[in-house]
Amino acid sequence: MTDPGMNKSRNLTLLTDLYQVNMAYAYYQSGTAEKQVVFDVFFRKNPCGNGYTVAAGLEQVVDYIRHFHFDDEDLDYLKDTQGYSANFIEYLRNLSFSGDIDAVPEGTWVFPHEPILRVKAHLIQAQLLETTILTLLNHQSLIATKTARIVEAAGEDPVLEFGLRRAQGPDAGVYGARAAFIGGAAATSNLMAGKCFHIPVRGTHAHSFVQSFDDELSAFRAFAATFPQRTILLVDTYDTLSQGIPNAIRVFREMRKTHGDTFQNFGIRLDSGDLAYLSKSARKMLDEAGFPEAKIAASSDLDEYLIQDLKAQGARIDIWGVGTNLITSSSCPALAGVYKLAARERDGVLAPEIKRSDNPDKINNPGLKKLVRFRNKDTREAILDLIMLEEEPVPTDAFLAFDPVHPWKKKRIEDFEVEPLLKPIFKDGELVYDLPEIDEIRHYAATEKRSFSKEVRRLTNPHIYHVDLSEQLFHLKQQLLEAVRNHSKSN
């Protein structure tokens, strides 16, 4: 559901680039503002060298579209600073979204060049949406994907998102926590995100808490007495092995004596040093003291590679608290999603459009398109995705998939089910999509994960999942490119 704290009544219409409004003004002046167009949102490369991207941020896009309007302050600002005509300002005053939006649900695993959101609307409306849609989808999809990588490295161990203090501002911290939960994090330390999105919130204490007492043992006793049902003690303020862990064990014994078997959900946190060595030593000390159920949590600049290495070294860590490298996606700080014109109205009908480039990767797929996923009928494993023209029939029987990169290759697809990935979100400006709860989105993302092979999920040099164009779309693309080339020669 829409978050009550960060987004309610937030009008993001002016959260855009100047050139979007400049273009809108030129469309208005030239009489093309209400021509029908189609724009696609897609990205050209998975972030972090990954084999997939987890789509996130659609709920915030929906909220943005529902509140899309220029208020009086916005219009006064535009009139005073940009010199737009009074007629255009009045046009903007009455502008709202009246088109169609289709998108993949949040939590869907998506791949380069796939349309993950499609806008069909008047040109001026579609143009004005670009920047905000991209900032909402790019950020959350990036953080959800980074989290999925970290969760993959952690295996069955829970990952906690601890990154608020290192996030690039409040929105990045709150929406990053939301995206992290979609990507598989078990909880967040961020109370506002917990409140807004009903995400589980977890936390322990800081070194300053220990330093605020005369000695470490007194600090541990105070914390355990206050939180007897969630006593996780940070043991590395002074000396982890000779002081921190022995003091924690002493407090655990006292709490067990006082509370009996009701003393549960307890353990220690390691935040510095050699985490593999310290966790193995800590596990041995806790087990020998009679506390095999005590959990060992770890933090300290973790990311997917360090977690993978620590597990390979036999680290005895049960819970991973990941902050900076998750919330900032430090190894890959941006998802370069783009918003490209795919069709525009000519002589009353939508005609496909293509952008030519010397870089083949930057040539868009033209036309009004759909995206379908073929799954094994028995195992539900994803086989391939197919980008097709909207009017094309979807194969129902065994067929040879067309590979646009290697047209001479054909892959036989059989025993499959077909899943259309783009779902109607807005129709004629009205919301027609039921926004799922955050737990549903997270569960769906986890189901998506299980439908892809471990090779696709591999952190380094992942297997490239098949995304093909239909033959009809491929040939349309080639025809349009040839027409552009011929036009260029003639000029």
Q: What is the pLDDT of residue 134?
A: 98
Strand partners of residue 388: 370
Whether 291 has a pLDDT exceeding 50, the answer reads yes
| Residue showing tokens 């080339």 | 485
Q: What is the pLDDT of residue 2?
A: 45
Structure tokens at 393: 């029939």
Q: How confident is the model at residue 216 (pLDDT cuts 50, 70, 90)?
A: very high
Whether 92 has a pLDDT exceeding 80, the answer reads yes
Write the pLDDT tens digit of every residue in 295-345. 999 999 999 999 999 999 999 999 999 999 999 999 999 999 999 999 999
> What value does the mean pLDDT take over residues 349-370?
91
Write the pLDDT tens digit of every residue in 423-469. 999 999 999 999 999 999 999 999 999 999 999 999 999 999 999 99
Q: What is the pLDDT of residue 349?
A: 94
Complete domains list, the chain, with CATH: 18-144+332-490 (3.20.140.10), 203-298 (3.20.20.70)
Percent of the chain with pLDDT over 70: 96
Write the pLDDT tens digit of every residue in 95-119. 999 999 999 999 999 999 999 999 9
Strand partners of residue 385: 373, 467
Write the pLDDT tens digit of every residue in 226-255. 999 999 999 999 999 999 999 999 999 999
Structure tokens at 206: 């800081």
Whether 356 has a pLDDT exceeding 90, the answer reads no
58 φ, ψ (degrees, to nearest 5): -65, -40
Please give the mean pLDDT across all residues of the chain: 95
Whether 5 has a pLDDT exceeding 80, the answer reads no
d(CA 170, CA 172): 5
Q: How confident is the model at residue 6 (pLDDT cuts 50, 70, 90)?
A: low
* β-pair type (369-376, 53-54): unpaired
For residues 491 and 420, which has the higher predicted lDDT (pLDDT)?
Answer: 420
Q: What is the pLDDT of residue 179?
A: 98
- Per residue, the 3-state secondary structure of the chain, as one string, reads CCCCCCCCCCCCCCCCCHHHHHHHHHHHHHCCCCCEEEEEEEECCCHHHCCCEECCCHHHHHHHHHCCCCCHHHHHHHHHHHCCCHHHHHHHHCCCCCCEEEECCCCCEECCCCCCEEEEEEHHHHHHHHHHHHHHHHHHHHHHHHHHHHHHHHCCCCEEECCHHHCCCHHHHHHHHHHHHHHCCCEECCHHHHHHHCCCECCCCCHHHHHCCCCHHHHHHHHHHHCCCCCEEECCCCCHHHHHHHHHHHHHHHHHHHHHHHCCCCEEEECCCCHHHHHHHHHHHHHHCCCCCCEEEECCCCCHHHHHHHHHCCCCCCEEEECHHHHCCCCCCCCCEEEEEEEEEECCEEEECCCCCCCHHHCCCCCCEEEEEEEECCCCCEEEEEEEECCCCCCCCCEEEECCCCCCCEEEECCEEEEECCEEEEECCEECCCCCCHHHHHHHHHHHHHCCCHHHHCCCCCCCCCEEECHHHHHHHHHHHHHHHHHHHHC
Q: What is the pLDDT of residue 4?
A: 47
| Residue showing tokens 């036989």 | 412
> What value does the mean pLDDT take over residues 346-356?
93
Lowest mean pLDDT, pick from 183-187, 226-230, 347-351, 397-401: 397-401
Q: What is the pLDDT of residue 488?
A: 66
Q: How confident is the model at residue 484 (pLDDT cuts 50, 70, 90)?
A: confident
Q: How confident is the model at residue 384 (pLDDT cuts 50, 70, 90)?
A: very high
Count CA within 13 A, CB hemisphere, residue 411.
18
